[in-house]
Amino acid sequence: MHARSKWAIGVIGAVVVLGGAAVTALAQWADSADFRLRAQLAASQALGVPVSLGDIEVTLWPAMGVAVRDVRIHTRPALTLAQIDARPKWSSLLLGRPALDALVVRQAVLPQQGILAMLAALQKQAPKAAAKSSDPMAGMPRRIELDQVTWVDASRQRLTVNAEIEFGSELLPETAKVDVVGGRYVGAKARLDREGDVWQLHADIGGGTLSGPLRLQAQRNGGWRLAGDVTTDKVEVAALTAPSRSLTGRLDARTSLAADFKEPGALVDALRTQTRFTVRRAVLHGIDLATAVHTLGISRGGETAFDTLTGQVTTQGKAVQLSNLVANSGSLSATGQVALSPERALNGRVNVTLAGGTFGVPVNVSGTMDTPSASPAGLTLPGLFGSR
């Protein structure tokens, strides 16, 4: 037998032996008599929230790992996960110190309030975890995959995604890919790629794109600062406001954003944005401004079409302010500002000038995003509301 063949057989034999040892170690790790109870206790202690687990078994295909089924994290409301696949590093199994290479979450339902409750519990556990390990990456997988994972927001709107996140040497992603496969932004795709301390965002949504740099920097007070500049190009407005369709048209915009926060759960409330925008072939649904001015009455229903709608949007958390609004069409023009509360209530005033008119009529805008209304400001209709 040639020396080269002997070397090949030796290498193959070594691989087989190592593979068998890894499988044996993995099976012993997962199939010990009290493993499920110990795993439940360990997960509950790590999260600071009671956790219950279903079946646990070793899987060999499509990748070696441990499958945990019927996971329930008992926040209020509860977080449910049909299956979690934990794929350990082979070398860690042989050394008797299992460490994760990848974590796959399948068919999970994650209510926003439950996530926030779990994050609050994790913050309380953070000092204990830090005392046990000086390595912040200890136990952290290098890759996380999400398969049909559904987020339920505070208004019970659902968003289902498939995603892949790759981590580097820090607790920050190197790359992330997200495909929205169900719910309010269905069809949207997004990708993040890290370049130093900058993440480049590219998203396809509503027939257009969102792109630009995002920066996340640690602060001296132990918190974080998020900043970024995002360009919106030819995106259908209704794709961003779904399920609401109070405004449609093609959006071009430039947005700067910033947030200072300590816990991830505080990011939404801390986020501040400034946007300059233009919507072409805009249609305002639910309000007919021309009818409101002609009849001096309340307009509910109908629509108002504009060739262009421009303005600025300022947000602080969930509150939205639209200012310097300028809209033009062949039949009318309008200027003004409108505020949108966290409860999606509208409150504003626009000045409407009909074609051929010499002065504008002030119109109050009220109602909600889904049921807006408009009525001339400062007018009392005789016989209906009385007189002064």
Residue ranges of the domains in the chain? 30-187, 200-388
Residue ranges with strand state E in the chain: 51-52, 56-59, 65-73, 79-88, 100-111, 143-152, 158-167, 173-183, 189-195, 198-205, 208-218, 224-236, 247-261, 272-285, 303-316, 319-328, 332-340, 346-354, 361-367, 372-376
Residue 241 DSSP SS3: helix
Confidence label for 165 from pLDDT (cuts 50, 70 and 90): very high
Whether the pLDDT of residue 384 is over 90: the answer is no
Neighbours of 148 (CB within 10 A): 15
* pTM of the predicted structure, to 2 decimals: 0.80
pLDDT of residue 26: 52
Confidence label for 8 from pLDDT (cuts 50, 70 and 90): very low
DSSP structure string for 58-117: EE-SSS-EEEEEEEEE-SSSPEEEEEEEEEE-HHHHHTT---EEEEEEEEEEEEHHHHHH
CA distances from 244 to 184, 241, 286, 330, 368 (A): 10, 6, 11, 26, 10
Give the pLDDT confidence of 259-315 residue by residue, as tens digits: 999 877 788 889 999 999 999 999 999 989 988 888 877 777 889 999 999 999 999
Give the pLDDT confidence of 166-180 residue by residue, as tens digits: 988 777 889 999 999
Give the pLDDT confidence of 76-131 residue by residue, as tens digits: 999 999 998 888 776 665 666 666 788 899 999 999 899 888 878 877 766 555 55
Give the pLDDT confidence of 352-367 residue by residue, as tens digits: 998 877 678 899 999 9
Give the pLDDT confidence of 177-229 residue by residue, as tens digits: 999 999 989 999 999 999 988 999 999 999 999 999 999 988 888 889 999 99
Give the pLDDT confidence of 308-343 residue by residue, as tens digits: 999 999 999 889 999 999 999 988 999 999 999 988
Whether the pLDDT of residue 19 is over 50: the answer is no
Question: Amino acid identity of 271?
Answer: L
Q: Is residue 351 packed enough to be buried (19+ CB in 10 Å), middle (13-18) or exposed (0-12)?
A: middle
Q: Could you give the percent of the chain with pLDDT greater than 90?
A: 45
Give the C-alpha separation, 264 to 193, whole Å. 20
Q: Which helix (H) or strand (E) holds 6?
A: helix 3-31
Whether the pLDDT of residue 21 is over 50: the answer is no
CA distances from 317 to 79, 267, 291, 328 (A): 25, 8, 34, 30
Give the C-alpha separation, 344 to 296, whole Å. 26
